[in-house]
Structure 1
Amino acid sequence: MNRIIFILSFVLLIAFYILWGQLGYHFGSILVFVGTVALIYFRRRYLGMRPYWAGSLSDIPKYFKLP
């Protein structure tokens, strides 16, 4: 998952949240939370990062560099 797909997926997730609210459905924030966690998981997996609990936080700057 490259950066553009990551950003587009996040924007699409926010658009679904807005649409979900306009249709009158509840629990849209849960959808956004779970979707954001999934996007971050796949982004970290794509960049080859270790889980949060398995190492230092020094790999976070990888989010701000081109893959």
Structure 2
Amino acid sequence: MRRRHRVVVEWDEEGYFVAHVPELHAHTQAQSFEELLQRLQEAIAVSLEEEKAEVVGLEGELEIEAA
């Protein structure tokens, strides 16, 4: 069964993308968005490991706010 989790992505003052999944208490950061997606998938997998769940892919919407 597939589950969906909300991912919050922010840009910090040091130039990093920072992402966290509030429901899973998973978080990561990277200098490029592509690297962030890879690290995010790894962080989610670690968080789900205790539940014996598997990450099958990242898909969905991304909302970016700019000032």
Look at both structures and tell me which one has the larger radius of gyration over its CA atoms.
1
Q: Name the one with the larger helix percent.
A: 1
TM-score normalised by structure 2 residue count:
0.35
Q: Name the one with the larger strand percent.
A: 2
